[in-house]
Amino acid sequence: MSTKTPSKLEEILTAGHLAVTSECGPPRGSDPEDITKKAEMIRNHVDAINITDNQTSVTRLCSLAACVHLKMMGIEPTLQMVVRDRNRIALQSDILGAASFDIHNILCLSGDHQQFGDCPKGQNVFDIDSMQLIQTVRLMRDEGKFLGGDEIKRPPQMFVGAAANPFADPFEIRVPRLAKKIAAGVEFIQTQCIYNLDKFELWMKLACDRGLHEKVYILAGVTPFKSAGMAKYMKNRVPGMDVPDEVVKRMSGVPKEKQAEEGINICVESIQRLKEVEGVRGFHIMAIEWEEKVPEIVERSGLYPRPDIS
Amino acid sequence: MIVAEKKPIEEIIDQVKDFQKLLIAGCNECVTVCEAGGKKEVGILASALRMYFMNEGKKVEIDEVTLERQCDHEYLEEIRDRIDKYDAVLSLACGVGVQFMAEKYFSTPVFPGVNTCFMGAAEERGVWSERCQACGQCILGETAGICPISRCAKRLLNGPCGGSTKGKCEISKDLDCAWQLILDRLKELDRLDDYEKIMPIKDWSTERAGGPRKVVREDVRL
Ligand code: SF4
Ligand code: SF4
């Protein structure tokens, strides 16, 4: 397969390597060091770094600016873009802005509802949905056209990604939904954090049965637990998250000071098992405010060194 | 119907406290059905206000009327002969009725007595919920008769989002996920395959986004 964009992530995946991506949340302030420090910790262990877009609807430094900081450090960013806060004018405009800095990866998302964040009284936009954002980026890239039909001078060259949550309900449409995203033009997928491996494997199997794994690169999402409390919180409070009881039990079963280590162990074991799953083409390691652990996870999972592609 | 909710009495008092002659005007349509601004509510509010002003030692005259419809010239005209008797009107109609009243009786102050909430229906007695946001280009035919614009918290045309859990929306355990409802009904109609059709980007110019809307029907104009 040949690549369609200058994205390093695309090149690594196309070459058949297991890709490794991670993500950083921008700060609630304007100090660029909050991003550059995190990125510095993980730069040698990942192929690209996602920058979240006002995740959980909490106002933060914008994803695009943070991506530019990574770019200036020579790190490949993935621009996360939610459709909650911008209409089609702003979305297309930001895509062009990102393209002007040669940002080559984009992740198209709906975004959490604003009621979860710091501005629950604000408006939301949802002019288009994440499926339609995928279509929009592909239109801009492949046909060099705006949604309005006009031509784009120097169209964006972006490898187009989206999220998939195999654990949200109803399960029976989770694979059809993946198929739909593929039909919309998605090229890589980063999944929701996987703790229920059996269910993930079932989802992957159903996707493979339809041949979807040959049409899209699927990066399995993992997040290490820092504590038993975090495991319980994710299980009970985060919508669309599936944390089986035995995982919570395993975390609670070790003394407090050992829980962080156990969390990393679980994460590494999950990656080892997921590596064997047909259709898994890489990993997306979301170590929430725990970036310093990413190198250890990558190394212990046998994913280091990263392929040298430039 | 249009669903409205009574404003808190304190807010109403605050709006009308400086007037001496007040007309409370109910409406016999939607707000009667949703028990926010019909004849009954007019009566209850009038008594409450009379009591309040009496306790305050204020002499305020309060009259009551309930019109067949406040969004209709013909019925609004019924009070033309007495409107000048009043310093202000407290209308318990929806926002449309309040405005029609204000347009018609240009020199009389008019205040809203209800908060107009949405277009919806009574799910059961005492429970109303939204069904339509008047997007101006109805797509119910493609969504198994369930409206994702008014009933999905993100207005997703290609839902559900990743937050859908056990049939409920990510924003509340008390709210059905519209996309779960759509899927359930598509299945019932043996149309689940339609789920994979991508719904195109919507033209919102027929919705609020396009500015205040107007329907002009030459065939029925006089
Ligand atoms: S699709 Fe539009 S017109 Fe139809 S029910 Fe929904 S909001 Fe109303
Ligand atoms: S959970 Fe369902 S109703 Fe709520 S935002 Fe997501 S798709 Fe819409």
pLDDT tens string A11-58: 999 999 999 999 999 999 999 999 999 999 999 999 999 999 999 999
Answer yes or no: do B29 and B65 share one domain.
yes
Within a domain: A101: yes
B93 Cα to the center of ligand 2, angstroms: 32
B81 Cα to the center of ligand 2, angstroms: 52
A131–B163: do the CB atoms touch at under 8 Å?
Answer: no
Between CA A266 and CA B51 the distance in angstroms is 68
A173–B164: do the CB atoms touch at under 8 Å?
Answer: no
Q: How many CB atoms lie within 10 A of CB A194?
A: 27
Ligand nearest to the CA of B176: 2
Within a domain: B127: no
Answer yes or no: do B42 and B95 share one domain.
yes
Answer yes or no: do B113 and B6 share one domain.
yes
Within a domain: A47: yes
pLDDT at A310: 62
Share of chain A above pLDDT 90, in %: 96
Burial A153-189 (b: 16+ CB within 10 A, else e): eebbbbbbbbbbbbbbbbeebbbbbbbbbbebbbbbb
User: What's the first-to-final CA gap in chain B, in angstroms?
Assistant: 27
Structure token pair of residue B190? 């043996």
Give phi and psi for B218, each to the nearest 5.
-60, -35
Structure token pair of residue A144? 């060099």
Nearest CA in chain A to B197: A180
Residue B199 CB less than 6 A away from ligand 1: no
ipTM above 0.90, yes or no: yes
pLDDT at A1: 62
Answer yes or no: do B25 and B84 share one domain.
yes
Within a domain: A2: no
Answer yes or no: do B16 and B76 share one domain.
yes
Answer yes or no: do B66 and B17 share one domain.
yes
Residue B169 CB less than 6 A away from ligand 2: yes
Give phi and psi for A246, each to the nearest 5.
-65, -30
Nearest CA in chain A to B209: A127
Pocket perturbation via mutation, ligand 1, pick of B118, B135, B182 by most ligand atoms within 8 A of CB? B135
Residue A186 has pLDDT above 80, yes or no: yes
Within a domain: B125: no
pLDDT at B65: 98
pLDDT at A47: 98
Answer yes or no: do B101 and B142 share one domain.
no
Residue among A53, A106, A46 nearest A73 (CA): A46
**pLDDT class of A2 with cuts at 50, 70, 90:** confident
pLDDT tens string A64-93: 999 999 999 999 999 999 999 999 999 999
- How far, in Å, are A130, A145, A306, B129, B207 from residue A44 at the CA level? 31, 36, 7, 53, 49
Between CA A138 and CA A160 the distance in angstroms is 7
Q: Which domain holds residue B159?
A: 133-206
Pocket perturbation via mutation, ligand 1, pick of B137, B138, B157 by most ligand atoms within 8 A of CB? B138
When CB atoms are compared, the residue of B170, B195, B201 closest to A239 is: B170
- In the predicted model, residues of chain B with pLDDT beneath 70 are none
Answer yes or no: do B65 and B22 share one domain.
yes
Within a domain: B184: yes
Domain count, chain A: 1
What is the least distance, in Å, from the CA of B77 to any CA of chain A?
38
Report DSSP letters for chain A, one per residue.
---SSS-HHHHHHHTTPPEEEEEEPPPSSS-THHHHHHHHHHTTT-SEEEE-SSGGG---S-HHHHHHHHHHTTPPEEEEEESSS--HHHHHHHHHHHHHTT--EEEEE----GGGSS-TTS----SS-HHHHHHHHHIIIII-B-TTSPBPSS----EEEEEE-TTSSPGGGHHHHHHHHHHHT--EEEEEEP--HHHHHHHHHHHHHTTGGGTSEEEEEE---SSHHHHHHHHHHSTT----HHHHHHHHTS-HHHHHHHHHHHHHHHHHHHHTSTTEEEEEE--TT-GGGHHHHHHHTT--SPP---
Answer yes or no: do B93 and B157 share one domain.
no
Answer yes or no: do B6 and B67 share one domain.
yes
**pLDDT class of A309 with cuts at 50, 70, 90:** confident
Give phi and psi for A254, each to the nearest 5.
-110, 150
Answer yes or no: do B114 and B184 share one domain.
no
Q: Assign residue A143 the CATH number of its domain.
A: 3.20.20.220
Q: Angle at Cα A172 formed by Cα A275 and Cα A16, nearest 5°?
A: 25
Structure token pair of residue B45? 């509010």
Within a domain: A306: no
Within a domain: B103: yes
Domain count, chain B: 2
Between CA B4 and CA B94 the distance in angstroms is 7
pLDDT tens string B42-95: 999 999 999 999 999 999 999 999 999 999 999 999 999 999 999 999 999 999
Q: Which domain holds residue A95?
A: 8-300
Residue among A49, A24, A51 nearest A38 (CA): A24
Q: Angle at Cα A198 formed by Cα A223 and Cα A253, nearest 5°?
A: 60
Residue B163 CB less than 6 A away from ligand 2: yes
B141 Cα to the center of ligand 2, angstroms: 19
Residues of B in contact with A113 (CB under 8 A): 153-154, 163, 170-171
pLDDT at A136: 98
Q: How many CB atoms lie within 10 A of CB B130?
A: 14
**What's the whole-number mean pLDDT along residues A129-140?**
98
**pLDDT class of A260 with cuts at 50, 70, 90:** very high
Residue A187 has pLDDT above 90, yes or no: yes
A240–B164: do the CB atoms touch at under 8 Å?
Answer: yes
Which residues of B lie inside 8 Å of A (Cβ-Cβ)? Answer: 153-167, 170-171, 177, 180, 183, 195-196, 198-202, 204
Answer yes or no: do B98 and B195 share one domain.
no
Which pTM was predicted?
Answer: 0.96
Between CA B129 and CA B111 the distance in angstroms is 25
B153–A165: do the CB atoms touch at under 8 Å?
Answer: no
B183–A128: do the CB atoms touch at under 8 Å?
Answer: no
Between CA A9 and CA A12 the distance in angstroms is 5
Task: From the CA of B163, give the closest atom in ligand 2.
Answer: 1
Within a domain: A3: no
Residue B139 CB less than 6 A away from ligand 1: yes
Within a domain: B54: yes
Within a domain: A308: no
Between CA A257 and CA A77 the distance in angstroms is 34
pLDDT at A239: 83
Q: Assign residue B39 the CATH number of its domain.
A: 3.40.50.2300
